Amino acid sequence: MQLIIECLKKSFEDKIVLKDISFTFEKGKIYGLLGRNGAGKTTFFNCLNEDIKIDSGSFTIVENDVSRKLKNEDIGYVLSTPVVPEFLTAKEFLTFFIDINKDKINMNKNIDEYFEMMRIDEKDQNKLLKDYSHGMKNKMQMLINFIANPSILLMDEPLTSFDVVVADEMKKLLKELRTDHIIIFSTHIMELAIDLCDEIVILNDGVISEIDKADLSNDEFKIKIINQLKGVDNV
């Protein structure tokens, strides 16, 4: 499966955020999307998720040599600031989510196994989500996306709210999930992207470009990334 983006453009009044993005993402890979603050990473995700209207461009899915337009159900979006129904407990929320989506999802675990997968203790399962920390809310947001199991996962700074142990667990889980998915992982932490991701792409000056790691040491690769983010030609 491929996600093909062609000539994506998005402006806000006189400010051009996404200039002319054309790129192909492939199943089985985690893509690290790097960009400086304000580069347009979240705008790019919002365009793909149809949260904002694009100025021009197209999104196409190609699978088994058959092309079609990207659909909303193809996308799962983990927001940098998680939004959960704070008046429900975690168990109530998960039960409700599964119930209203039972015709769309193929569950391969029961509720207790899903909580175990995310390392959410029983005492926390019965706690109101309003009393959850940012990191715990983020766990629940990630969990419902994993259950929905869309082909494409957009993840906007998903690990920054976790402690070292939980972040390591989530990285292992994402590496397991990538086989059947396209995962696009936005982060401003270069070391995290290099450690987790199969490919590094840079959003700079409104366009996306890929950074080739071939035959480079980690230090050389970091310098190449920094130069690209600065808009400096690599030599």
- In this prediction, residue 195 has a pLDDT band, given cuts at 50, 70 and 90, of confident
- Span 60-78, mean pLDDT? 92
pLDDT above 90 as % of the chain: 55
140 within domain boundaries = no
> Is residue 235 scored above 50 in pLDDT?
no
Distance of CA 20 to the CA centre of its chain: 21
Domain-located, residue 63: yes
Structure tokens at 188: 């401003």
CATH of the domain at 62: 3.40.50.300
State pLDDT tens for residues 140-178. 999 999 999 999 999 998 887 777 888 888 888 899 889
Residues 6+ apart with CB under 8 A from 202: 34, 35, 208, 209, 210, 211, 225, 228, 229
Q: What is the pLDDT of residues 78-132, one digit of tens each?
A: 988 888 999 999 999 999 999 998 888 887 788 999 999 888 999 999 999 999 9
Phi, psi of 182, rounded to the nearest 5 degrees = -105, 120
DSSP string, 38-78: TSSHHHHHHHHTTSS--SEEEEEEEETTEEEE--GGGEEEE
Query: For the chain, how many structural domains are there in total?
Result: 1
Asked if the structure places residue 139 within a domain, the reply is no
Query: Is there a contact between 227 and 36 (Cβ–Cβ < 8 Å)?
Result: no
Is the pTM value of this prediction over 0.85?
yes
216 falls in which pLDDT band (50, 70, 90)?
A: low
Whether residue 64 lies inside any domain: the answer is yes
Does the residue 144 lie in any domain?
no
Provide the pLDDT for residue 219.
77
74's tokens: 């193809």
Mean pLDDT throughout 197-211?
89
Enclosing domain of residue 68: 2-84+152-230
The maximal CA–CA distance of the chain, rounded, in angstroms, is: 56
Whether residue 122 lies inside any domain: the answer is no
Is 187 a domain residue?
Answer: yes
Integer Cα distance of 111 and 95 in angstroms: 8
Q: What is the mean pLDDT of the chain?
A: 89
In a domain, 142, yes or no: no
Cite the DSSP H helix spans in 15-163: 41-48, 90-100, 111-117, 122-125, 134-148
Residue 215, pLDDT > 60, answer no
